[in-house]
Amino acid sequence: MQAEIIRLKKEKGICILAHAYQSHDIWEIADYIGDSFGLSQKAASAKEDTVIMCGVRFMAETVKILSPQKRVILSNSVAGCPMAEQIDAAQLRALKKEFPGYKTVAYINTTAELKTECDVCVTSSSAVKIIKAIDTDKILFIPDCNLGNWVKQQVPEKNFKFIAGGCPTHLRMTVNDVENARREHPNAALLVHPECKPEVTALADFVGSTTEIMSFAKKDDKHSEFIIGTENSIVQHLQLEAPNKRFFPLSKLCVCLNMKATTLGDVLECVTGVGGEVINLEEDQRIKAKHCIDEMLRLG
Ligand code: 13P
Ligand code: SF4
């Protein structure tokens, strides 16, 4: 299947983008792998006319928002991000009325509809830099209050309002998991994603986005063992890429079924032209949503 996907994507001039949480067999056929910020940058610069996004719906929407002339295909139509739909545009308009004078900062894990109501997007790897650069100290941060609280610790001079949103996958990791993992692997460093609960990030040796966790683990020469507090595909990728080190999941439950919805078979159907979902957005919505992604790329 991999050989056929590679042959067809070259023949048809298709670009395959894959989020870091995709499984390794999909990494091997992708043209670019990255975290949400890296994928957004690629979405803006990819030369090909057709882009297949192996990730979740908001990532494919981001490609379409930035490159409306391209045919953008979400690798599996059931792959959504539950966090992206935890608040809708009407609820956000009500919040903005409640907090006048606040800039609305949206985690990129939001629907295109919600982005039309926001001032700027951020990703886990760009949030601190962007929020520091915003020309106001009043920030209404949606939807992930855990990422938001982690950013607040790095930018204490600003005033934040949060809602009770978050990633159901990362919220499965607990302090009890940290205690058990530390006991089983006393020499390992604990690396976690900022979508984890504050009491879990507080115990970590390093907090960062998916690609930041990977590059930290590969470069760190103080440790040879790592406990990984993010989606468990990162454990698999690291073990394959750094075979002399050892990697353990913080929790076996940290699996995102949406990210894992895409299989090699789905990608083969996409390059063959019989699978996936072609993403279309109303032009009015696309233009309004583009503003906050452009701001993210400019400030980040
Ligand atoms: P990053 O890719 O920015 O680390 O985000 C993780 C995530 O949960 C994406 O859905
Ligand atoms: Fe959404 Fe969390 Fe899955 Fe990322 S890991 S796609 S934030 S549910």
Band of residue 45 on the pLDDT scale cut at 50, 70, 90: confident
Q: Is residue 243 part of a domain?
A: yes
Please tell me whether residues 157 and 120 are part of one structural domain: yes
Question: pLDDT per residue over 124-175, tens digit each?
Answer: 999 999 999 999 999 999 999 999 999 999 999 999 999 999 999 999 999 9
Band of residue 261 on the pLDDT scale cut at 50, 70, 90: very high
Q: Is residue 182 part of a domain?
A: yes
* Å from CA of 153 to ligand 1 middle: 19
Please tell me whether residues 143 and 193 are part of one structural domain: no
pLDDT of amino acid 208: 96
Mean pLDDT of 227-253: 97
Considering the entire predicted model, what is its pTM? 0.95
Please tell me whether residues 151 and 185 are part of one structural domain: no
Q: Is residue 75 part of a domain?
A: yes
Instruction: Calculate the average pLDDT of the chain.
Output: 96
Question: pLDDT per residue over 86-109, tens digit each?
Answer: 999 999 999 999 999 999 999 999
* Å from CA of 82 to ligand 2 middle: 7
Ligand 2 atom closest to Cα of residue 109: 7
CATH code at position 72: 3.40.50.10800
Smallest Cα–Cα separation from 248: which of 174, 188, 169? 188
Domain with 207, as residue range(s), is: 173-249
Q: Is residue 237 part of a domain?
A: yes
From 110, 124, 201, 214, mutation site for ligand 1 pocket: most ligand atoms within 8 A of C-beta: 124
Please tell me whether residues 218 and 271 are part of one structural domain: no
Please tell me whether residues 96 and 40 are part of one structural domain: no
Q: Which residues are bridge partners to 144 per DSSP? A: 165
Question: pLDDT per residue over 182-200, tens digit each?
Answer: 999 999 999 999 999 999 9
* Å from CA of 11 to ligand 1 middle: 31
Ligand 2 atom closest to Cα of residue 170: 2
Ligand nearest to the CA of 57: 2
Question: pLDDT per residue over 11-39, tens digit each?
Answer: 999 999 999 999 999 999 999 999 988 88
